């Protein structure tokens, strides 16, 4: 699990690694493998599934490009769990946007 910083409302790619027993893997992923909670609310399946970056030289590295509605919150919690079981280890990404620029404290 890690805590990353991200820009509110952005659609920049988010990179992470999928492993099985500590070794990078490039499984076929499905919608039920990834759930996003915004600010601790109930999780929902991702709009866009992550894709493998490079199956040869970057084994296990995936890229997720969120839609703006998925990043319009202070904290995104991405739960990663193989719905079928056995293809990759369970994990979690915690991504902080800091909230909308107009709602942040100043000074």
How high is the pLDDT of residue 3?
60
CA atoms within 13 A on the CB side of 76: 28
- Tokens 């990078």 belong to 24
Q: Report yes or no on 62 lying in a domain.
A: yes
Question: What is the model's pLDDT at position 15?
Answer: 94
Domain count, the chain: 1
Q: What is the CB neighbour count within 10 angstroms for residue 27?
A: 16
Q: What is the pLDDT of residue 103?
A: 62
Residues 6+ apart with CB under 8 A from 17: 24, 60, 61, 62
CATH number at residue 6: 2.60.40
Q: What is the pLDDT along the chain (107 residues), one digit of tens a residue?
A: 456 788 888 899 999 999 999 999 999 999 899 999 999 999 999 989 999 998 788 999 999 999 989 999 999 999 999 999 999 999 999 999 877 776 655 54
Instruction: Give the global pTM.
Output: 0.86
With respect to residue 8, please indicate whether it lies within any of the assigned structural domains: yes
**27: containing domain:** 2-100
Residue 106: inside a domain: no
């Amino acid at each position: 699990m890690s805590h990353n910083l991200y820009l509110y409302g952005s659609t920049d790619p988010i990179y992470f690694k999928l492993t099985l027993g500590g070794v990078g893997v490039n499984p076929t992923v499905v919608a039920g493998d990834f759930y996003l909670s915004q600010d601790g609310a109930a999780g929902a399946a991702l709009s866009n599934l992550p894709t493998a970056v490079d199956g040869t030289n970057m084994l296990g590295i995936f890229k997720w490009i969120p839609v703006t509605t998925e990043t319009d919150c202070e904290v995104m919690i991405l739960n990663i769990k193989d719905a079928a079981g056995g293809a990759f280890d369970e994990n979690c990404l915690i991504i902080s946007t800091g909230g909308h620029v107009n709602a942040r404290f100043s000074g």
